[in-house]
Amino acid sequence: MTSPPPFVSHTYLMRMPEHTAALRNPWPRLTGVIDGLTLDMEDEFRFGHTVVKVGPNYRMGGSIKGGSSSIWVTVQEAALDAYNKWRELEMPSQGEDAAAYSELKHTLGAAGIQLASDPSEYEPSHGEVYRTIRDIVKAIPEDHFRNIALDKIQVGGWGPDAAKASAYKNGTVYIYDFAVYGAVRTLAGLFLHELGHAFHASLRPERTSVLQQSHETISRRRAFMGIEYLLDAESRIVYQEFIVEEFVAETYLLYTACGSALREFILSQPDDIRDAWWRAYSIYLDGFDGVGYI
Amino acid sequence: MHSITRQGARLTALVRGRLNREEADTLVRDVENILKEPGAAGKKLVVDMSHVEYLSSSGIGALVRMFRAASDVKMEMIVCCGRAEIRSLIEIAGLDKLIKLVDAPDSKQS
């Protein structure tokens, strides 16, 4: 089969912003591009680690709940230079963008969704974070936001119970500091993944049942699509295989950020797996009122 | 650095020092090889991280790969975190949804 079945019929195709659509491709390595950057360092930076100067020494560690509970290891001065160059290319800039914040707040507000930040309502240094989320939100039909179980998006802060990168709970998507101060790619991936949980929460039981049945079939051959953000692609596949809710949320991310790549992936599967995937895909297609993604 | 011991129905991978990319690959390979041996199925795999000084993202990826390998042979996998910082890093990656975490290797849950 070289094309989707008749019940997979898009009314039209939209496009996610470039930084988000790039999730379909392997995460390009900067090791070898940035002087002094090693694969180990790059992996840690991708996982939210920073390099700081403490007195005469340099330390690398993770920004977990403000950093006080992180593991810090001693590194050379060159690591700080490498980190600064890496963050220029991968992380949101720390500049202000009040217009992006206002536009995001207005766009979400029109769909009845509150935008909140912690600790302050508007955080000046989050300009590019607001811009990134705004661009993703603008690439999603407003009606879709009205139909999913989403009341509020919180940008910044940490969860009350445990260190998390992001979360969805009781109608709120939380984008914690780990994601805010990480790579743009990770921010985009986590945001759409959490929207996927809000989508899941809005589904009628018969639709959830279709997704569960599809998951069962797909699991038999581990025919999941994995993309790199936060951790490697293989880890994202394992999450999907063992937790159906993660499969539903991750498929939302794949549907929106990687539309054509997801369809190509589905078409490459054997008959039974392909059928299961298309049944799952059709649930998302309905949820987007026929809108698909390039 | 790591060692793997068997005690009854329990297989324990004791990890020490820094779990970086190179060590993570070796650990996963050794665990996978042991899990392929006859009689491994149905046992419990305990990954004791209580002596780990630094857990890299490669180390977290190694936990995912070991979990997958253990599941293939119907083994339950438990991670003893030791330090709160180790647990936080694992939770950041969302691994607490997949793998049972305990604080100490002699915990009743492990």
pLDDT at A161: 56
Site from A39, A47, A235 to mutate, B interface, most B CB atoms within 10 angstroms: A235
Residues of B in contact with A48 (CB under 8 A): 92
**Top-confidence residue, A24 or B74:** A24
Ramachandran angles phi, psi of A16, nearest 5° = -80, 160
CA dihedral B92, B96, B99, B101 (to 10 degrees): 100
Which residue in the set A43, A48, A64 is minimally distant from B21, CB to CB? A43
Count how many residues are written for chain A: 294
pLDDT at A124: 81
pLDDT at B110: 60
**Top-confidence residue, B52 or B104:** B52
- DSSP of chain A: --S--TT---SEEE---HHHHGGGS-----BTTBTT--HHHHHHHHTTEEEEEETTEEEEEE-SGGGTTS-EEEE-HHHHHHHHHHHHHHSPP----HHHHHHHHHHHHHTT-EEEESSSSS-GGGHHHHHHHHHHHHTS-HHHHHHSS--EEEESS--SSS--SEEEETTEEEE-HHHHTS-HHHHHHHHHHHHHHHHHHHS-HHHHHHHHHHHHHHHHTT------BSB-HHHHHHHHHH-HHHHHHHHHHHHHHSHHHHHHHHHTS-HHHHHHHHHHHHHHHHHTTTEEE-
Q: How far is B21 from chain A (nearest CA, A)?
A: 6
Q: How many of the other CB atoms lie within 10 Å of CB of A236?
A: 25
Q: Establish if B34 touches chain A: CB-CB under 8 angstroms.
A: no
Q: Are A230 and A44 in contact (CB under 8 A)?
A: no
pLDDT at B31: 94
Q: Which of A212-216, A273-277, B58-62, B101-105 has the lowest mean pLDDT?
A: B101-105
Q: Establish if B32 touches chain A: CB-CB under 8 angstroms.
A: no
Distance CA B53, CA B35 (A): 26
Q: Establish if B66 touches chain A: CB-CB under 8 angstroms.
A: no
Q: Degrees (nearest 5) of the Cα angle B29, B102, B88?
A: 85
User: What are the residues whose beta carbons fall under 8 Å from the beta carbon of A226, sequence distance 6 or more?
Assistant: A232, A233, A234, A235, A236, A237, A240
Over residues B45-50, the mean pLDDT reads 95
The three-state secondary structure class of B2 is strand
- Select from A71, A197, A179 the least CA-distant residue to A118: A179
Distance CA B68, CA A226 (A): 15
pLDDT at A7: 87
Q: Are A96 and A126 in contact (CB under 8 A)?
A: no
Distance CA B57, CA B12 (A): 21
Q: Establish if A64 touches chain B: CB-CB under 8 angstroms.
A: yes
Distance CA A269, CA A1 (A): 10
Residues of A in contact with B98 (CB under 8 A): 238-239, 242-243
Q: How far is B56 from chain A (nearest CA, A)?
A: 7
Supply the pTM of this predicted model.
0.94
How many whole angstroms from its chain centre is CA B88?
15
For residue B11 the two structure tokens come to: 């297989």
Distance CA A38, CA A55 (A): 24
Mean pLDDT by runs of 10 across the 294 residues of chain A is: 84 96 98 95 91 93 62 91 96 90 94 80 85 97 96 85 82 91 95 98 98 97 96 94 97 98 97 97 97 97
Which residue in the set A39, A164, A246 is minimally distant from B92, CB to CB? A164
pLDDT at B109: 60
Longest dimension (CA), chain A: 66
DSSP letter (8 states) at residue B21: H
- DSSP of A56-73: TEEEEEE-SGGGTTS-EE
Distance CA B10, CA B13 (A): 10
Over residues B35-46, the mean pLDDT reads 83
Task: Tell me if A164 and B71 make a contact (CB, 8 A cut-off).
Answer: no
Distance CA A88, CA A94 (A): 10
- Select from B57, B14, B75 the least CA-distant residue to A62: B57
Which residue in the set A44, A178, A238 is minimally distant from B57, CB to CB? A44
In chain A, where are the structural domains located?
A: 18-24+94-190, 39-90, 202-293
pLDDT at A244: 97
For the domain B2-102, what is the CATH code? Answer: 3.30.750.24
Residue of A nearest to B24 (CA): A40
Over residues B30-58, the mean pLDDT reads 88
Q: Establish if B97 touches chain A: CB-CB under 8 angstroms.
A: yes
